[in-house]
């Protein structure tokens, strides 16, 4: 009896492709290093309030000064962007996009479905889909600041330098909010085992 129950539990444990696990590990590590090095860059010239504006405490930042902060930030940016590109190709080639991204059925489910689990799945896909343009905006604004001369046409799309910096800064808490919501919805859909399966 006990062995059959144990086997059933094992059968229900989610199984993730090694590609998905590698993507999530690289995503979290590069995002964390980008965030902390980005805060070092921010402290050198705060986006809000001029040079006397709010500064983040030293235990939240990495890099010994602005130069090292920029080096860390741009190095992690390339890893983060290439990782997203590789995963995007993986999702496209394996047709995972068919059940990863939202459809009109998900919008309808959020509005009228009485099935709580179906609604959670729908919200998960809606959030997953909504983050895509935010990530593209974060990368585009970051590249425009990284190479403002070579990519002057991209920087010009944001109007001026302060708007560009503000847009880039706002994408950071948006991505962090997505991470928390994404994890919360994953917990509701598949409990802690689903999240664990993405990393172990």
Can you give the pLDDT at residue 14? 60
CA proximity to 140, closest of 155, 125, 121: 155
Percent of the chain at pLDDT > 90 equals: 25
Give a yes or no: residue 118 inside a domain: yes
Give a yes or no: residue 83 inside a domain: no
Which of the residue ranges 14-18, 68-72, 101-105 would you say has the lowest mean pLDDT? 14-18
- Same domain membership, residue 185 and residue 147: yes
Give a yes or no: residue 92 inside a domain: no
Which positions ≥6 away from 122 have C-beta within 8 Å? 102, 105, 106, 107, 109, 110, 113
CA proximity to 27, closest of 76, 71, 72: 76
In this model, does residue 191 exceed pLDDT 80? no
Can you give the pLDDT at residue 198? 63
Which positions ≥6 away from 103 have C-beta within 8 Å? 125
159-162 own/partner pairs: CB under 8 Å, 24+ apart: 162/47
- 4 pLDDT band (50/70/90 cuts)? very low
Whole-angstrom distance, CA of residue 91 vs CA of residue 97 = 6
The pLDDT tens digits for 75-108 are 999 998 898 888 888 878 887 777 777 788 888 8
Whole-angstrom distance, CA of residue 126 vs CA of residue 103 = 8
Can you give the pLDDT at residue 25? 86
Can you give the pLDDT at residue 36? 92
Give a yes or no: residue 2 inside a domain: no
- Same domain membership, residue 160 and residue 116: yes
- Looking from the CA of 31 toward its CB, the CA atoms found within 13 Å total 18
- 151 pLDDT band (50/70/90 cuts)? very high
In this model, does residue 189 exceed pLDDT 80? no
When comparing pLDDT for 104 and 156, which is higher?
Answer: 156
When comparing pLDDT for 54 and 42, which is higher?
Answer: 42
- Same domain membership, residue 189 and residue 137: yes
The alpha helices in 13-151, defined as continuous H runs, are 18-44, 66-93, 97-100, 104-112, 116-146
- Same domain membership, residue 168 and residue 118: yes
Whole-angstrom distance, CA of residue 179 vs CA of residue 128 = 10
DSSP run (H or E) holding 12: helix 2-12
Can you give the pLDDT at residue 1? 47
Give a yes or no: residue 116 inside a domain: yes
Can you give the pLDDT at residue 144? 93
What end-to-end distance do the CA atoms of the chain give, in Å? 28
Can you give the pLDDT at residue 183? 77
- Same domain membership, residue 28 and residue 123: no
Domain holding 73, by residue range, is 16-77
Can you give the pLDDT at residue 75? 92
- Same domain membership, residue 69 and residue 123: no
Q: What is the mean pLDDT of residues 47-68?
A: 82
Whole-angstrom distance, CA of residue 100 vs CA of residue 94 = 11
Give a yes or no: residue 123 inside a domain: yes
Please provide the average confidence, as pLDDT, over all residues in the chain.
Answer: 81
Say how many domains are in the chain.
2
CB 4 within 8 A of CB 184: no
Give a yes or no: residue 169 inside a domain: yes
């Amino acid at each position: 009896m006990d062995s059959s129950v144990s086997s059933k539990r094992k059968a229900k444990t989610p199984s993730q492709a090694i590609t998905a696990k590698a993507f999530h590990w690289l995503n979290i590590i590069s995002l964390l290093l980008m965030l902390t090095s980005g805060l070092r860059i921010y402290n050198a010239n705060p986006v809000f309030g001029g040079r006397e504006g709010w500064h983040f405490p030293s235990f939240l930042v990495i890099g010994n000064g602005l130069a090292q902060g920029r080096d860390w930030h741009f190095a992690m940016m390339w890893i983060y962007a290439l990782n997203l590109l590789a995963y995007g190709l993986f999702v496209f080639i394996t047709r995972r996009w068919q059940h990863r991204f939202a459809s009109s059925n998900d919008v309808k489910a959020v509005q009228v479905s009485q099935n709580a689990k179906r609604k959670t799945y729908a919200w998960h896909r809606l959030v997953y889909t909504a983050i895509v343009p935010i990530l593209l905006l974060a990368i585009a604004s970051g590249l425009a600041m990284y190479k403002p001369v070579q990519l002057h046409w991209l920087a010009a799309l944001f109007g001026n330098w302060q708007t560009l910096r503000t847009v880039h800064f706002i994408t950071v808490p948006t991505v962090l909010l997505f991470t928390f919501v994404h994890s919360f919805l994953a917990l509701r859909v598949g409990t802690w085992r689903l999240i664990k399966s993405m990393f172990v």
